[in-house]
Structure 1
């Protein structure tokens, strides 16, 4: 049984249409990406006080994704380019979030993943390519080719050696991050793969799709262990609790579903 506490507070600000949110590992900061015209902001709130503490400029197109590193030191925001920021180090004006680098793309960025020691940032974009970057210098390290549709989702294994990508071509692809070798292509969805999450031990993969299903895969074999068909709209996002016992899915059918699972 899940215990749900009372409603705590609401953020009241002209946020615009919210596209992505991320919470720092220590629970102190909320980062929000939004669609605002004529420019898009990344906004940061102090969750303890509820105060807006920073409004970051730099994006002129909608911010599709924001991701915070596992150690909470850096975060990235993606539109048609990626901005990498230091969450704790201030800029010349005394504020938070010094900009570290800009990673240039020619099409919309849909997905970002950062490895555990912040030496590699992976981006997936509408041009079907997966790019590997040094987030500190902005140098492009590699480009993975293989998808035939927009890259919609990315997840890295806990050891940082394996990358899984989901695409509008309805496939999931498993890559060796260092060599760029395509290890396996997983098929089974009948529409674009919109979201991915790995179990804490890195052995089980869960995918959400516009075909309204979630699939649970054994990563080592590519076998589908279970298909969940409880949504009536695109499964936009899937999240696992830190202990791997609860699966949360958010859908275009305007529902959030919470399931107890045994992996």
Structure 2
């Protein structure tokens, strides 16, 4: 598997996301400039200029017309994917960490960090069909978790919101009332900060990665723990194959501890696990620093990883990959 190396960011990668068709890949990094690439050959299509801080997260509407980005500059921006024009800016009093369009793209979830005495919060915004009608008001603001919320996503049929972050607890909220419905069990749940959260292609379960060197698979409605994948380093990013029962974990030790080790010792590889058997089945090396972002193409035939080294690596699977017998 020869990776395609995509060098378009000056600073570490933070997030990767494919559009629904899988022909475009969007990357976010600490260099303020989200970028869009052709997903088959890694050619850079364009950049979205306007943020003044690290961009932590993005999402793309179902029709691939709009991009939403959340940044440390305390704004969330809506963009035209095609033209790169800014359509609207939501301003907050603290850095925006996570963004997620609802099914149907009529709503957006935005999480903001604790900042200058303000607690972390989950904001629900209406997304207008016409950018001229867009307003900044929130429909709901949910507060409660201690520390930063690293990821929040919509549950089935937009009825619930799933959030996770620094306090290591996964929470499910009622998106209509803002009421807290469920919390993950302290015994079976993560022991350290949850860094990443990824829904399965059908939305029936989701995967979380944590600094406690594990990833866990959960039922999206009941919050029952289904599987645990154990690795020997903190997990910064997780992804699930839409095609095979494969889970990918990425991470590595903290960037500050990396200077003394070479890339082999730093364990900067994307590790593949059998989703059912929970066993490691392979790894993909290449990054010269921790992996911060992972994404599977919706067709399941390629995946990409983004690292602390500023590179996006795009991997198209060899035919052998689809015949792995575990």
- Calculate the TM-score normalised by the size of structure 2: 0.69
* Cα separation, partners in 2 of 1:59 and 1:243, compared to 1, 3 Å: same
Match of 1:61 in 2: 53
Higher percent of residues as helix = 2
User: Equivalents in 1 of 2:42, 2:204: separation in Å?
Assistant: 37
The root-mean-square deviation of aligned C-alpha atoms, in Å, is 2.2
With CA pairs under 8 Å and 6+ residues apart, which has the higher RCO, 1 or 2? 2
In the TM superposition, residue 173 of structure 1 has moved relative to its aligned partner by 0.5
* Cα separation, partners in 2 of 1:221 and 1:34, compared to 1, 3 Å: closer
> Counterparts of 1:88-127 in structure 2 under 5 Å?
88=82, 96-127=83-114
Aligned residues: 247
Q: Does structure 1 retain, via aligned residues, the 8 Å contact 2:109–2:153?
A: no
Match of 1:232 in 2: 233
**Structure 1 residues not aligned, in runs of 5+:** 1-5, 89-95
* Cα separation, partners in 2 of 1:17 and 1:261, compared to 1, 3 Å: closer
**Structure 2 residues not aligned, in runs of 5+:** 115-119, 129-133, 254-267, 278-326
> Counterparts of 1:1-263 in structure 2 under 5 Å?
6-7=1-2, 9-13=4-8, 15-36=10-31, 40-47=32-39, 50-79=42-71, 80-88=74-82, 96-127=83-114, 128-136=120-128, 137=134, 138-187=136-185, 188-233=189-234, 235-243=235-243, 245-253=245-253, 254-262=268-276
User: Equivalents in 1 of 2:217, 2:8: separation in Å?
Assistant: 38
* Cα separation, partners in 2 of 1:218 and 1:99, compared to 1, 3 Å: same
Secondary structure of the residue aligned to 1:58 is: coil
* Cα separation, partners in 2 of 1:19 and 1:206, compared to 1, 3 Å: closer
- Calculate the TM-score normalised by the size of structure 1: 0.84
User: Equivalents in 2 of 1:50, 1:261: separation in Å?
Assistant: 28
User: Equivalents in 1 of 2:230, 2:9: separation in Å?
Assistant: 36
User: Equivalents in 2 of 1:172, 1:110: separation in Å?
Assistant: 16
